[in-house]
Structure 1
């Protein structure tokens, strides 16, 4: 787990926030969100951040250009194509979300920080201790209805580098959709007149069927809803929870994989492996009653081209198009079994995701009134952003040193690419009760220390325990 330079002190001077509107007139209309967009669990703001070194020497044409001015101008051009993002959310009488495409614009902040990129060190990894400095929360801007759908702050650094931080209303886009918008913004910054991939709205493609019908088991949602649609644990005390970065380098991931029996070792994705390891170590750290049920939900993108698995959505579709099927186990069984048991559960849950699954989610939203996912300390949602393309956004000054969601949330953790000491790996912000953090570290340490003798024991235990289930 990498350390941070949280004692660093610097000042950020910001200009008055302004609204950037589309550079040309755009349609004034009302557009409905899909029933996948319009989930109670999507009604929150996601902070995303990009860190750029001063790489202008690699592209002399950008050397004299100001990133703030370039990105501000490009934003107006990009909003001509993504004009719903310049609108405001409203509800109909059934609380169905719609976008009033009124062209009011997105919030933009120009800023300067008296710090260099190198001084920031590992504070660029999530959760960023300086997020509030690089993404100012404009008072009254962080609501869901009637507020700007995007807020952007571009901060110049003393060294010539810059930071772009963005806050997105999640109901409008998922990670893939945000990447489509950001790639268009980057293309405009480099002089393009039109996006390579034109945006596609067509949110009706992910509306509930008529009649709606729930055809799959959805452990990620409460089985029954209360009047206020919440299923909160009274032991989910945020005042006693802390957030910290959890980093695994490529060698540690290899060692974790070696804990698996041969048939899983070669047939397990990195996402499945890390998700299973995180789930097991986190459950052990929480020291739960063995009979308590724990679950982990993995976000699975529905944009696959395979007709049996994917939704075959248009290439430029930028709405939410994912579901998060759950793996479920009693805490005691999960903790007593070797890692392979958790991997098999995660693989099985992931395999359930297909077109029918996401259609069933949309129908469930309509039938059961948009219930949120379960919010308990026994339920974790993980989202893999390592292949999202967020770290491929180039405004003309080269690729970012790091890019991704700037923080986790108590029920959600994001996997992101990160490099420590020149070694590639995956970093994820984790929330845990304070008393569980050290045990979590110890459980991870057990999984990431090479021990050949332990592998033989693990394989034997896996065969024995699997045969007992």
Structure 2
């Protein structure tokens, strides 16, 4: 049992103990010569723990529950170097930054080859369990990577919009999103409260669909339309949407992923439409049904096909998914980061503090205490201006009365 003297000592000791259970994370990735395959070498070299301090008080980050963008966000993380290099590097980095008010911020990064978001939060929860004084983690980890290994020979089910891009890459039009440097883009956090969500749901003409559609499906459909229009793609071009789905517990008989599995267990749903069909004339019902159809089209075979495809593309300088005219979106509302419990510190906020091309959905409460959804967005400046007008028209907020967070649109 770990006795808490200071947060840093307790969390560092808990990390060391957690790595006994998550021993692959204490190792390093190696490449098998001549195969383009990566393996974990359980060297026991450990993870990285950094302790730092800042003359900043928690209230300077905003009113709880906290959500990005955070000031000086890059200082909350360890320097991991080139994130594209994974071989021979530590697989987990944890930085604890003491704040002048007595609180602290935890910044953690992990190699995505080893864990997905659910697996990463499971590891962090295990560290919190041990730092709290528990004898062992509440959820014991399961490795069992053979469940989602590529098959020999691979069997590919072509995903909508995937594959053709590699064959005709030179014929595709340029994408302003990919040609604009990240540092030149504008990053926004959009806060959708209950009134905003109810107003958007009112745009759905079919009563039964309005009742069935989830908040994620609704906001994703609206964001996809507004973002596509803002980027100025030609009417006949294809616009794509890609979002991950958690495969845990989805097909217990055909794909029995055990409790505690912390590897990548994500299936990416892919859907495409012409810009004309997406943004001109068709009601919101049409876009919502595209999103819902992509979710309904998943299956164990498609999951295994995606694993096979990713294995085939490794080392070829290609990706298993389309890259141009794509809206990547991920729902982090249920990964459980708000349930991390150290026993002697209250969680006041989290999320992805650094801007990414992928839009992330997170849940929390707005300033009125109502459950709300925050969606991140990164766009070139002019496109962000156009997006603001598009989303305002959907929310009927041309009068400037929008309820986005102060740092938002």
Given the two structures, how large is their TM-score scaled by the length of structure 1? 0.76
Query: 3-state DSSP class of the match of 1:189?
Result: helix
> RMSD of the TM alignment (CA)?
2.8
Q: 1:183 deviation in Å?
A: 1.5
Judging changes above 3 Å, is the alpha-carbon distance between structure 1 residues 423 and 111 closer, same or farther for their aligned structure 2 residues? same
Given the two structures, how large is their TM-score scaled by the length of structure 2? 0.87
Q: Deviations over 1:363-392 (max 9, x none)?
A: 22344557413222x101111010110121
Mapped to 1, the partners of 2:248 and 2:380 lie a distance apart of 35
Task: Please state if 1:210 is matched with 2:152.
Answer: yes
Match of 1:357 among 302, 307, 312: 302
- Report the equivalent of 1:55: none
Match of 1:82 among 22, 25, 30: 22
Mapped to 2, the partners of 1:219 and 1:122 lie a distance apart of 42
- Report the equivalent of 2:379: 432
- Report the equivalent of 1:394: 341
- Report the equivalent of 1:66: 6
Match of 1:121 among 56, 59, 62: 62
- Report the equivalent of 2:111: 169
Match of 2:135 among 177, 193, 198: 193
Query: 3-state DSSP class of the match of 1:312?
Result: coil
- Report the equivalent of 1:156: 98
| Contact in 1 for aligned 2:191/2:375 (Cα 8 Å) | yes
- Report the equivalent of 2:404: none
Judging changes above 3 Å, is the alpha-carbon distance between structure 1 residues 450 and 238 closer, same or farther for their aligned structure 2 residues? closer
| Contact in 1 for aligned 2:96/2:104 (Cα 8 Å) | yes
| Contact in 2 for aligned 1:117/1:159 (Cα 8 Å) | yes
Match of 2:77 among 116, 132, 135: 135
Judging changes above 3 Å, is the alpha-carbon distance between structure 1 residues 292 and 389 closer, same or farther for their aligned structure 2 residues? same
| Contact in 2 for aligned 1:298/1:350 (Cα 8 Å) | no
Match of 2:46 among 68, 80, 105: 105
- Report the equivalent of 2:193: 249
Judging changes above 3 Å, is the alpha-carbon distance between structure 1 residues 112 and 450 closer, same or farther for their aligned structure 2 residues? closer
- Report the equivalent of 2:247: 302
| Contact in 2 for aligned 1:325/1:350 (Cα 8 Å) | yes
- Report the equivalent of 2:402: none
After superposition, residues 175-186 of structure 1 pair within 5 angstroms as: 175-186=117-128
- Report the equivalent of 1:33: none
| Contact in 2 for aligned 1:220/1:325 (Cα 8 Å) | no
Q: Deviations over 1:87-122 (max 9, x none)?
A: 111111212111111111111111111111112216
- Report the equivalent of 2:238: 293
Mapped to 2, the partners of 1:276 and 1:140 lie a distance apart of 34
User: What is the number of residues matched between the two proteins?
Assistant: 386
| Contact in 1 for aligned 2:11/2:127 (Cα 8 Å) | yes
Q: Which runs of 5+ in 2 are unaligned?
A: 399-409
Query: 3-state DSSP class of the match of 1:132?
Result: helix
Q: 1:285 deviation in Å?
A: 1.0
Q: 1:196 deviation in Å?
A: 2.1
Judging changes above 3 Å, is the alpha-carbon distance between structure 1 residues 130 and 435 closer, same or farther for their aligned structure 2 residues? same
Judging changes above 3 Å, is the alpha-carbon distance between structure 1 residues 346 and 408 closer, same or farther for their aligned structure 2 residues? farther
Mapped to 1, the partners of 2:388 and 2:82 lie a distance apart of 39
Q: Deviations over 1:188-230 (max 9, x none)?
A: 011122222211111111012233211x33136333647x9xx
Query: 3-state DSSP class of the match of 1:300?
Result: strand
| Contact in 2 for aligned 1:114/1:158 (Cα 8 Å) | yes
